[in-house]
């Protein structure tokens, strides 16, 4: 699935996450145990260093640069990552990307 086609319509029908980044969309799937967010990210988005509960993610398409616990690495289609509970991390989107992030925090994001 390319960035141009994005996610299937049934995912796009889920609530949008309330996000603070211009041009970013996140389709929210929530449960009492955690959240999954299906992100559509334009190139150039930068997420400053921050921390929260544990997180797992996978790059569906595109590429991002992640700094996790002081180590910077580029992640591309099919690459996954784990961010530990409370571990500081930051991101930079290198090209338009689809990313799925799963959060241990059940209230990481609120729906719009």
Give the torsion through C-alpha atoms of 72, 74, 77, 78, to 10 deg. Answer: -40
What residues make up the domain containing 30? Answer: 9-103
Residue 38 lies in a domain: yes
For residue 15, the 8-state DSSP code is P
pLDDT at 3 over 60: no
Residue 66 lies in a domain: yes
Residue 76 lies in a domain: yes
pLDDT at 2 over 80: no
pTM of the model: 0.93
Residue 60 lies in a domain: yes
Residue 48: which CATH number?
Answer: 2.60.120.10
Residue 2 lies in a domain: no
Residue 111 lies in a domain: no
Please give the residue that has the higher pLDDT: either 36 or 5.
36
pLDDT at 7 over 80: yes
Number of domains comprising the chain: 1
* Per-residue CA distances from 95 to 19, 55, 75, 110 (Å): 19, 22, 11, 26
């Amino acid at each position: 699935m390319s960035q141009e086609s994005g996610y299937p319509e049934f995912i796009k029908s889920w609530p949008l996450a309330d996000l603070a980044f211009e041009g970013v969309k996140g389709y929210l799937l929530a449960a009492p145990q955690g959240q999954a967010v299906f992100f559509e990210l334009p190139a150039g988005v930068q997420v400053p260093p921050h921390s929260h509960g544990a997180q797992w993610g996978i790059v569906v398409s595109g590429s991002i640069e992640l700094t996790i616990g002081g180590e910077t690495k580029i992640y591309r289609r099919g690459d996954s990552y784990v961010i530990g509970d409370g571990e500081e991390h930051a991101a930079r989107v290198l090209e338009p990307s689809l990313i799925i992030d799963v959060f241990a925090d059940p209230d990481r994001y609120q729906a719009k």
